[in-house]
Structure 1
């Protein structure tokens, strides 16, 4: 009888350990976020950070939104090297690996008409099924199409036809994707500019780079840094697009959001 009780007790302990490990695994991202966040508040860590010069990403993440969704960086001049602009290999795209939090990183491409997918009139686009970091289905209005977040492509679908790829999708507001205000600019503004240029000639190339900008361990980027330069230099830009939605307060750590009164 004693052996039976001991065995039952041991099984209960084992079950408890398994449940605990399962809970930790399912919540590993939020737990890791908290650990890193606490560490970042350390005085020693802050002193170390202050001793290093700010990177461009540090500067971008600290930019303040003042009502203009897209702002120019470096006087709108891209910073590609001559080697970056080589077109001898033809069109291509390269996506970075996800980081330890599962977040997409910088995406690079040399865009050309040959990479572009058939018109959706002839080929139906597959439905997006990837759950991007920090994504929540939050309605901003009564219409079923009025959602706070989109799953935003870094390299737009229209350029390469890449759709359900976790390395190429971030949680982005509708305003980041396509700001509907009069004369406002957003990602679609610059993507349309590139697409129009590429359609002009099969000999047109555009070196393109899109970088999501995260603050510390936040899952939702504060914005995206977009750079492009054509092989004939007639098209070029260097902009930062804020991942914001007017009238809403976003918790970039986990993607929760509240409407401002």
Structure 2
């Protein structure tokens, strides 16, 4: 009788344990499966949407705080295109002897992302704009150095060129080039950064940062006029608006309408 009693108790234990497993295991399995599905559908974001700031804005804000470093050697570097195919930044360190001697090809073939063009009253609205200008870099059809720019911001006029317009890149480019020619033993450190809003294809602004160095690497602050300010990274900074007085521009798509 004693062995039988132990056997009955053993059966009771097995039944209780089995019922417990029937209750607990499905719950755990369901919970784990649900969590796995949730994780697959909703991966942890690298950049939180709560910040309302794109990865590219974070990149721009970080880069612009870096101080230029003098190496005593010619340098031309460009950031890779971002996830939307947009140019991100170009930087050059050069002397007069590094400036290109060959004339620039009159026509560009590469269309930067967001490129559209319109003729308003016989005047082309947009240019394929170089970040670091050809007169410094010698680059023409380089995707990493091109963005859609209004003719007004790039060349200073709705038609033709006006390098007296302080709202244009041409104003600063020509004066920086003149400084290099007058100071052949000096160095120019020049960075150009397009500023985008979220995932818009066209930059709303283009930011220039420049500073000089003597032949020994001593910093030479540059003041060439116009709308200059002092940046956090101890360079002279200019922010240009990528607008045109004759157009309303859709920066998300690159399309435009005449005012």
TM bucket, shorter chain: 0.5 to 0.7
> What's 1:106 paired with?
89
Give deviations 1:17-74, integer Å, cap 9, x for gaps: xxxxxxxxxxxxxxxxxxxxxxxxxxxx654449xxx96957xxxxxxxxxxxxxxxx
Does the C-alpha gap of structure 1 residues 241 and 97 become closer, same or farther in structure 2, counting only changes over 3 Å?
same
- Unaligned runs of 5+ residues in structure 2 are 1-47, 215-219, 224-235
SS in 2 for 1:230: strand
C-alpha distance in 1, partners of 2:208/2:51? 30
Larger Rg: 2
> Is the contact between residue 214 and residue 223 of structure 1 (CA under 8 Å) also seen in structure 2?
yes
Normalised to the residue count of structure 1, the TM-score between the two structures is 0.64
- Structure 1 segment 5-154 matched on structure 2, within 5 A: 47-49=50-52, 81=67, 84-88=68-72, 90-118=73-101, 120=103, 125=105, 127-142=107-122, 146-154=123-131
1:187 to 146, 169, 172: 169
Shift of 1:86: 1.0
> What's 1:241 paired with?
240
> What's 1:231 paired with?
213
> Is the contact between residue 92 and residue 137 of structure 2 (CA under 8 Å) also seen in structure 1?
no
C-alpha distance in 2, partners of 1:148/1:172? 9
> Is the contact between residue 188 and residue 211 of structure 2 (CA under 8 Å) also seen in structure 1?
yes
C-alpha distance in 1, partners of 2:212/2:74? 12
- RMSD value, Cα: 2.4
Does the C-alpha gap of structure 1 residues 99 and 47 become closer, same or farther in structure 2, counting only changes over 3 Å?
closer
C-alpha distance in 2, partners of 1:150/1:160? 18
Shift of 1:125: 2.2
Normalised to the residue count of structure 2, the TM-score between the two structures is 0.65
Shift of 1:97: 0.4
Moved runs in structure 1, 4+ residues, more than 4 A?
Answer: 54-58
Alignment partner of 1:208 is 2:190: yes
Shift of 1:148: 0.4
> Is the contact between residue 186 and residue 212 of structure 2 (CA under 8 Å) also seen in structure 1?
yes
C-alpha distance in 1, partners of 2:131/2:165? 23
Give deviations 1:152-195, integer Å, cap 9, x for gaps: 00010001211110000000001110223775431111111110
SS in 2 for 1:167: helix
Shift of 1:119: 5.2
C-alpha distance in 1, partners of 2:196/2:114? 12
Does the C-alpha gap of structure 1 residues 114 and 128 become closer, same or farther in structure 2, counting only changes over 3 Å?
same
Does the C-alpha gap of structure 1 residues 254 and 115 become closer, same or farther in structure 2, counting only changes over 3 Å?
same
> What's 2:40 paired with?
none
Aligned residue pairs total 185
Shift of 1:201: 3.1
Q: Which moved more, 1:104-113 or 1:174-183?
A: 174-183
C-alpha distance in 2, partners of 1:197/1:119? 20
C-alpha distance in 2, partners of 1:198/1:217? 36
- Unaligned runs of 5+ residues in structure 1 are 1-44, 59-77
